[in-house]
């Protein structure tokens, strides 16, 4: 009996839960909701929070308002010079118009990204066909391609924030040609750098030689002046000594001659017994008259 009495209460509670679930919906941060009544949009940009709708009549479609990423699979494309390249692209986009996004794609992210891929591949094919390989490698004009793809994506309520070539592959022949040209350019550049370096080294060497010659000349000049002064001073001293004691001066000069003569032990002198050079070695008195 008690179990039967609880059945109505349980049924009422379940109905309330289902009714609340069908009435209330929550929109998280970074999301927006679009509310429809029998497929007709009545609210197109419901922000974060807890909201209510007419149960079983209205539906809430919740979409991500953040930036979304999409990878475009590698595509074989031809440049203006008929060079084949493999392009792997990366697209960053967001939902700009939730109303248009829902009506054009049914709220399907998969369908929306297929539309973006189609627009990107078509845009890349036209972009590469109008540019040389060099222009493609440098990324010239990629901003204009982003605008073209964005204009196509706008039809589905989408906005293209960024469109980049993530990887660019080249055919074997193209790679070989580029390698040869780069090697030639590098050799030419290396030769120019070496020539400039040698020229600078030659200039620096010439400047150093001139500086060295100038320094040596100044040093020789100073040394000559000092030597001249020293010789003059020595001559004055010798003259003074000679005037004071001529015999001592002769004796001193002879001793210096002895020192210079016998400084080298291997020196051999052949002198006669009557030579005046030996008069001071014969014990002939003071200063050897």
Cβ-contact 60, 47 below 8 angstroms: no
pLDDT of residue 215: 79
pLDDT along the chain (289 residues), means of 10: 63 71 84 89 86 85 90 85 84 93 92 93 89 77 87 94 84 52 62 67 68 74 74 68 63 65 63 59 52
pLDDT of residue 191: 60
Cβ-contact 279, 257 below 8 angstroms: no
> Angle at which helices 172-244 and 246-262 pack, to 10 degrees?
140
Q: Two tokens at 69?
A: 């990423």
How big is the chain by its Cα radius of gyration, in Å? 53
pTM of the complete model: 0.53
Between CA 172 and CA 180 the distance in angstroms is 12
pLDDT of residue 193: 77
Between CA 227 and CA 230 the distance in angstroms is 5
């Amino acid at each position: 009996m008690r179990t039967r009495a609880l059945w109505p209460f349980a049924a009422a509670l379940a109905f309330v839960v289902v009714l609340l679930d069908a009435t209330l919906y929550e929109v998280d941060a970074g999301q927006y909701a679009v509310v429809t009544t029998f497929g007709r949009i009545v609210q197109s940009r419901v922000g974060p929070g807890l909201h209510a709708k007419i149960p079983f009549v209205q539906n809430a479609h919740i979409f991500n308002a953040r930036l979304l990423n999409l990878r475009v699979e590698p595509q074989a494309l031809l440049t203006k010079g008929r060079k084949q390249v493999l392009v792997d692209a990366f697209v960053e986009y967001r939902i700009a118009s939730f109303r248009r996004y829902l009506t054009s794609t049914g709220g399907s992210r998969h369908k929306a990204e297929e539309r973006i891929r189609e627009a990107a591949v078509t845009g890349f094919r036209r972009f590469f066909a109008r540019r040389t390989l060099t222009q493609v490698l440098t990324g010239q004009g990629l901003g204009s391609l982003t605008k073209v793809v964005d204009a196509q994506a706008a039809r589905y309520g989408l906005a293209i924030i960024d469109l980049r070539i993530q990887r660019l592959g080249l055919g074997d022949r193209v790679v070989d040609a580029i390698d040869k040209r780069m090697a030639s350019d590098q050799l030419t550049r290396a030769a120019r750098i070496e020539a400039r370096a040698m020229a600078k080294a030659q200039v620096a060497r010439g400047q150093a030689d001139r500086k060295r010659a100038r320094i040596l000349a100044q040093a020789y000049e100073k040394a000559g002046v000092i030597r001249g002064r020293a010789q003059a001073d020595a001559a004055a001293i010798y003259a003074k000594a000679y005037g004071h004691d001529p015999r001592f001066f002769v004796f001193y000069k002879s001793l210096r001659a002895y020192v210079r003569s016998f400084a080298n032990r291997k020196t051999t002198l052949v002198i006669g017994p009557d030579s005046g050079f030996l008069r001071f070695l014969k014990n002939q008195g003071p200063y050897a008259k």
